[in-house]
């Protein structure tokens, strides 16, 4: 990989309309606020849950925000929100590993067919760019969530391959665990600490990439500013073990609650991979980001045979075991940079009168 400078094309937000599918989730809410701050003309939130939309409407009280009830599984409902849209951030998905294991066809319907609906609708409406939000679990996938998100990338690239220059640009991003996202382990552990334990650990040696929500917004923004047809972007990220995450939380909250081992859940990996060796080989190093270009050969493989790719022996997968590892103090620092964790700590301190904790990590 040869590093190139970060290119951040300046984006003219004036007069632009953005559609965010799954817009009431953690990513959607943060991205919507960011886009409004950037001066976008209209931000459309597309999702299934009217109550979450109502909450967001009241809390943000912003006339440039528009709400559309719909489901990516229904092309008609996507089409009705797509008219006049310039940029699409496709975040709607089934993301919980265990539930996708038990209901794989639901994951197929939302993550694959739903993504196809969003992409085809955007192309038909002549949108400028679609960014599909993916996951590290799509690389060497072993669970239904990762498999369906891997196929979302393939659907995006097959559409990208048939488009002409000047038509809608289709790209994807992959990221690892978003810290404090809904249903994820950090809010779960904090809750368990507040209730006096036990902390349920699957496997202390497991590693996960740790990405603050603000970095997922940066990644998506970087993607639409820099995407060429069919690209996949990742943001370089540090990782830590789940054991160190627990140690950091105990340290911050000044507790020593019992830790109970529950074993790996269905479809879990010990370590996650953001880019496979073959992808690292093709990737363009863009500073904090990697661009993985799509393989744009057509079906006529024979003519490329003599140019077959050689993968260097020195390269490895870009995974959560070999990336930069955070120690307990560094995990504390990262946790303290999250407003949600600081809020939890403040209320915990006022409840317990514990003055120990935090800033001495």
Ligand X SMILES: O=c1ccn([C@@H]2O[C@H](COP(=O)(O)OP(=O)(O)O[C@H]3O[C@H](CO)[C@@H](O)[C@H](O)[C@H]3O)[C@@H](O)[C@H]2O)c(=O)[nH]1
Q: Which residues bind ligand X (CB under 6 A)?
A: 95-97, 135-137, 176-177, 184-185, 188, 200-202, 206, 208, 242, 268, 272
Packing angle between helix 26-37 and helix 50-60, nearest 10 degrees? 30
| Residue 33 is a catalytic residue | no
Shortest separation between residue 3's beta carbon and ligand X, angstroms: 25
Rank residues 127 and 147 by Cβ distance to ligand X and give the closer one: 147
Distance (Å, whole) CA 65 – CA 35? 10
Phi, psi of 190 (to 5 degrees): -65, -40
In the 3-class helix/strand/coil scheme, how is 235-296 assigned residue by residue? Answer: ECCCEEEHHHHHHHHHHHHCCCCCEEECCCCCCCCCCCEEECHHHHHHCEEECCEEEECCCC
| In the complex, least distance from residue 41 CB atom to ligand X, rounded to whole angstroms | 31
Question: For residues 159 and 167, is the Cβ–Cβ distance under 8 A?
Answer: no
DSSP H helical ranges for the chain = 26-37, 50-60, 75-82, 97-102, 104-107, 115-124, 144-162, 185-194, 213-226, 242-253, 277-282, 328-336, 339-352
Nearest CB to ligand X, comparing residues 40 and 209: 209
The least CB distance from residue 82 to ligand X, in Å, is 25
Pick 65 or 252: Cβ nearer ligand X = 252
Nearer to ligand X (CB atom), residue 105 or residue 188: 188
Closest distance between ligand X and the C-beta of residue 171, in Å? 18
Crossing angle for the helix pair 339-352 and 242-253, to the nearest 10 degrees: 40
Query: Shortest approach of ligand X to residue 44 CB, angstroms?
Result: 23
CB-wise, 36 or 156, nearer to ligand X?
Answer: 156
Q: Which of 29, 95, 137, 149 is an active site residue?
A: 137
| Residues taking part in catalysis | 137
């Amino acid at each position: 990989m040869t590093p190139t400078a970060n290119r951040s094309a300046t984006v003219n937000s004036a007069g632009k309309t953005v559609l965010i599918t799954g817009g009431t989730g953690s990513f959607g809410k943060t991205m919507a606020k960011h886009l409004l701050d950037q001066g976008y003309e209209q931000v459309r939130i597309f999702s299934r849950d009217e109550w979450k939309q109502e909450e967001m409407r009241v809390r943000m009280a912003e006339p440039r925000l528009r709400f559309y009830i719909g489901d990516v599984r229904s092309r008609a409902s996507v089409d009705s929100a797509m008219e006049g849209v310039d940029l699409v951030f496709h975040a709607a998905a089934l993301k919980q590993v265990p539930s996708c294991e038990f209901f794989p066809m639901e994951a197929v319907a939302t993550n694959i067919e739903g993504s196809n609906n969003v992409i085809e609708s955007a192309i038909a409406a002549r949108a400028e760019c679609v960014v599909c939000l993916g996951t590290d679990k799509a690389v060497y996938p072993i669970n239904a969530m990762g498999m369906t998100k891997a196929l979302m990338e393939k659907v995006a690239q097959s559409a990208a391959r048939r488009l002409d220059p000047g038509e809608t640009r289709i790209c994807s991003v992959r990221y690892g665990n978003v810290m404090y996202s809904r249903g994820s382990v950090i809010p779960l552990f904090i809750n368990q600490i507040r209730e006096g334990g036990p902390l349920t650990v699957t496997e202390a040696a497991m590693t996960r990439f740790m990405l603050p929500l603000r970095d997922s917004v940066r990644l998506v923004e970087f993607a639409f500013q820099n995407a060429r047809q069919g690209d996949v972007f990742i943001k370089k990220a540090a990782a830590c073990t789940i054991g160190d995450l627990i140690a950091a939380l105990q340290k911050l909250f000044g507790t020593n609650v019992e830790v109970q081992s529950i074993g790996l859940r269905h479809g879990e990996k010990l370590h996650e991979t953001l880019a496979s060796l073959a992808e690292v080989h093709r990737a363009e190093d863009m500073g904090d980001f990697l661009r993985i270009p799509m393989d744009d050969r057509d079906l006529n493989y024979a003519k490329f045979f003599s140019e077959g790719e050689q993968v260097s022996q020195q390269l490895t997968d870009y995974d959560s075991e070999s990336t930069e590892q955070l120690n307990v103090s560094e995990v504390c620092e990262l946790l303290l940079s999250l407003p949600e964790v600081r809020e939890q700590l403040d209320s915990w301190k006022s409840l317990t009168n514990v003055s120990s904790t935090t800033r001495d990590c």
